[in-house]
Structures are given as C-alpha cells and as structure tokens.
Amino acid sequence: MFVRVSPRDPRYFELSDGTPYIPIGLNAVHPEAGGLADYDRWFRLLAENGANFCRVWLSTPFFDVEPTRSGEYDAEHAKRIAELLALARRHGIRLKLCIEHFRSLGGQPAWSAKPMHHVSQGGPAASIADFFDGERSRAQFRRKLAWLAERFGNEPAVFGWELWNEVDCVAGGDWMAWTEVMLGELHRIFPRNLAVQSLGSFDTAAKRDRYRRHSLLPGNDVAQVHRYLDLGASLAVCHGPVDVLAADAVKELRSCEPRRPILLAESGAVERSHSGPFQLYAKDTAGILLHDVLFAPFFAGAAGPGHIWHWNVYVDKMSLWHHFGRFAEAVKGLDPPAEGFEPAELPHDQLRVYALKGRRTVLAWCRDKENTWEAELRDGTPPRRLSGLVLDLRSPLPAADKLPVRTYDPWTNQWTTGEAVTGRLALPEFSRSLVVRVETPRR
C-alpha cells in the first residue's frame, strides 16, 4: 500500500486501501560508521515503539548515486538504496527520500558544495543560478530522476520524494520556479508516491511570505515546515518553550489554508544560528525536547507529530526511542481523516491546552506552563507534580451531563479513566504533560 493524501480529508494521510496513516518518526539522514547496519537498528527501534516513518538524504556520500562526475550514476550506490528500502519494508517504515541538499558549486562548508556540477569540472552549470535556471542543468536533473525511477519507481516503502533539503538556502537562481517544474516531473515518473519540497528554518519574519508561496505551490503534496529552538533566531518564538514554537509553526502554515497535510518536518534544538547541536541535549535525559517536538504539532493541527533532527547525538545517544511509542499510544486507533479534526487552544491558568475536536473524538494535550527547557534543563528545576486541576472542555464537547474520559500520562505510559461532568474534567495528578481522550456520542 502507498501513502497518499486522504480523499476523505486532504489535511491528513492514509494508505491506498483507506487505512489511516500518521507518519511517526524522525530524520536520520545518513548512517554512522555502521552503514546500513545503523539503519537496521534505528528502524528496529522505531518499529518497536510504534513508529513508521524516517527521512533519509540520498545525497549524502553513503547513498549518493552521482558520487564523482556530474551526470554519471553509480549502480553500487543504488544497491545501497535498494538495501535501505528492503530494511524499511522489513520493519514497516516508510521513507521520505531527499534527492539533493547542496547549496553552492564550490567553497565552504564542504558538506553543502558540489563543485562537480560546475562547467570547469565537466558539469552543466556556470553558477548555482545556472543550475536552477539553465535548461542544460534541468535536463540533466530530469535524467537523474528518470534513472532513480527506473530502479525505485513503484515502491510502497517510499512515503514520498523530496526534491531538495532547504532549497531556499542555495546561493542563487529561481529555485521556486525550478521546484514547480520538478514537482511536476516527480508526479509524472513517481505517480504513486508523494512529491514534496522543503525550505530552511522558519526563524525570521522574512520567511513568512516564502512559506506561504511554498505551502500553496501546485504539486507540492505536503506543506512542510522546519523550525528549531535557536537563541540566534530573529523570531522571538524560536527562543521560548518548544511546544509553543512547534505549534506556532503549524499555525503559521494553517493560516495559509493550504488544504493539504502540514508537517513539522525538521525540528529540535541548536546552538545559536545553527552553529551546532544544542549543548543542553546532554542534560535532557528525560527527553522533554523530543516529547514537545512530537506532541505539539499534531495537537495544533498537523497531519503527524514533529520529526526531530539530531537522531544520533540526541535521540540515540540519550536512548529516547520510547517517546515515539508514547505518542503512538496516545493516538492508537485514531482515524484523523474520518474525524475531521478542528484544532483549538483551551484557556487554563497553569496549562497550555492544545485540543482537537473531531466527529467522534475529542483529544487534548495539556502542557505545564512552568515546565520549560529553561526551567528543567538550564536552571535544573525538576518538574512539579500537578494535582487538583480541572479542565474545562465545554467548548469542544457536546452538551451532556456526564461523559466517560480516558487520560494518558506519556511519562508513565499509564491510562486512567475519569468522567467529565457538565464539560468539566478533574485531571489526575501528573507532571509535565497529560493527554485527554473523549469518545463522544454519535451525532
């Protein structure tokens, strides 16, 4: 079965047999020293925790099918991609495959330069602008897509094909026009897979119009957004609580009314202006940053949880894989396209409450306002125990004297039962966050 945008509700995904699909996973764009064995282990850990998604860069040295000369493709590297797809099938993981990531045709940093495409080295382009705008370069990129399609063109383990990582970070050229053309090519040669594009981190006000254009671009099947906790960002929201910055990124895209799924496709925490992984990762033994990246976007109206970066130096190093299982447990059995969820934020003096009102289900994720990365990781303040709190659910719930409620504590992996009386729910004692789930009567 292939992943598609749901015809029942284009804001969500489903498989081609109509089964709902919520992409739970992360970015793991390149292997470590273990090569494919790393992916075998990561995919196993994801699958054991209810996850079903991973993003991989095909342009990293391990997978790059164009490793030495522009326009010459390597069958041995293609075998690695085939083996990666076999691992994905074995573990039930669907892959978003990113085709390119370079930003210049020379210079530093080396990871983002591809001088082989310059005319001086036998390539088709005199500049990065020429790479995007020149017909010679476009024709060559089409040939590359066709070469990939010949080998991997009918593969249900592929969630979708992503043209470029953060294409607006390139050093010239009309990347938006190029994107529109190449999205059309992806749809033509990979008709059963999604076609997507990505932009750089939404961390400045100047990105707002760019993201609006991108989210509404014809052929772009998913409105993706990247955003990080970054104290060097000009947008103040990127400095504060991670649940707030993640939910805000989704709300920014929702305001464009793209009528397609929204995903927080890259997130996490970085040192100032993306100068390295966040130093406070080392103190996040509980995984509060990962937790917020996972839960906030979905409860703000995205088609899935957020997809964290730093899979190696944070998620794997700190053994945080169980958090994917906690999110999977919270949404177990949910059919988002059937629900037609409408997101809202409910008022509370001690909690930020992100709610989803559906046809049969009301969900709410309650996040302690005082428990932030600054408090717990920077200042060393342990999370408080919250007790005696009452949640007002009258706005999303139908009028009823009493409704049965289940609450889920993702930190203890425990469900409890309760009762909303005239729309008010007495919450059990918890720390950091709590999920509320109400199955409402048929209407």
Q: Are 28 and 102 part of one and the same domain?
A: yes
Q: Are 411 and 391 part of one and the same domain?
A: yes
CA 299, 301, 302, 303 dihedral sign is positive
Q: Are 348 and 268 part of one and the same domain?
A: no
Can you give the three-state secondary structure of 171-237, one letter per residue? Answer: CCCCHHHHHHHHHHHHHHHCCCCEEECCCCCCCCCCHHHHHHHHHCCCCCCCEEEECCEECCCCCHH
Q: The CATH number of the domain where 430 resides is what?
A: 2.60.40.1180
Q: In which residue are the tokens 């804001």 written?
A: 11
Q: Are 237 and 327 part of one and the same domain?
A: yes
Q: Are 364 and 235 part of one and the same domain?
A: no
Q: Are 308 and 419 part of one and the same domain?
A: no
Last residue of a domain, one of 338, 368, 398: 338
Tabulate helix, strand, coil % of the chain (nearest 5): 35, 25, 40
383: preceding bond cis by omega (within 30 degrees): no
Last residue of a domain, one of 274, 308, 338: 338
Residue 309's nearest CA partner among 199, 202, 197, 229 is: 229
* Distances 437 to 8, 186, 244 between C-alpha atoms, Å: 22, 39, 21
d(C-alpha 399, C-alpha 394), whole Å: 7
Q: The CATH number of the domain where 320 resides is what?
A: 3.20.20.80
- Which residues, including other chains, have CB under 8 Å from residue 18's CB and lie 6 or more apart? 8
Domains held by the chain: number? 2
Q: Are 330 and 349 part of one and the same domain?
A: no
Residue 391's φ and ψ, nearest 5 degrees, are -105, 125
Q: Are 87 and 216 part of one and the same domain?
A: yes
Domain assignment of residue 384, given as a range: 342-439
How many CB atoms neighbour CB 172 within 10 A?
A: 15
Question: pLDDT truncated to tens, each residue of the chain (443 aa)?
Answer: 999 999 999 999 999 999 999 999 999 999 999 999 999 999 999 999 999 999 999 999 999 999 999 999 999 999 999 999 999 999 999 999 999 999 999 988 989 999 999 999 999 999 999 999 999 999 999 999 999 999 999 999 999 999 999 999 998 999 999 999 999 999 999 999 999 999 999 999 999 999 999 999 999 999 999 999 999 999 999 999 999 999 999 999 999 999 999 999 999 999 999 999 999 999 999 999 999 999 999 999 999 999 999 999 999 999 999 999 999 999 999 999 999 999 999 999 999 999 999 999 999 999 999 999 999 999 999 999 999 999 999 999 887 778 999 999 999 999 999 999 999 999 999 999 999 999 987 65
Q: Are 220 and 348 part of one and the same domain?
A: no
